Amino acid sequence: MENCLFCKIIKGEIPTTKMYEDDNMIIIKDIDPKAKNHFLCIPKCHFKLLAEMTEEDANAVKACLKKIPTLEKELGLKNGYRLVINQGEDAGQTVFHLHIHILSGQKMGWTPA
């Protein structure tokens, strides 16, 4: 996708701090962290919303969800972590390439903000 920020990051056209990469995904540091540790797990296939997910996309998301817990040390997951997928306007989604936020490294409350 030509004008997609995350596709550009995946192609290496925009610099980022890469934590992990394989055929299905890239995991990077969020540029504007909302927790002590804030990473983004971005499937390499471009799709916007869970509602638009194909079987192939779903396999990439499954690979993401299986991989994340194996990176306990690299992502600081030892004491627990939170995964967030923002969907659409009310959730504040700003990049329309599906991605999983990984938040860790601190105790977290439960207030939508």
Residue positions annotated with a catalytic role: 99
47's contact among Zn ion, ligand AMP, none, with CB below 5 to 8 A by partner kind, is none
- Smallest gap from residue 19 Cβ to ligand AMP (A): 11
Q: Report which of 45, 110, 12, 33 is spatially closest to residue 75, judged by C-alpha positions.
A: 33
Of 23-52, binders to Zn ion (CB under 5 A) are 46
Considering the rule CB under 5 A, would residue 4 count as an interface residue with Zn ion? yes
Number of residues in the chain: 113
Q: Which residues in 14-46 are b (16+ Cβ under 10 Å) and which e?
A: eebeebbeeebbbbbebeeeebebbbbbbbbbe
- Smallest gap from residue 105 Cβ to ligand AMP (A): 15
Strand, coil or helix: 12: coil
Binding letters toward ligand AMP, positions 19-38, x by CB under 6 A: ---------x-xxx------
- List interacting residues with ligand AMP (CB under 6 A): 5, 14, 16, 28, 30-32, 40, 86, 92-95
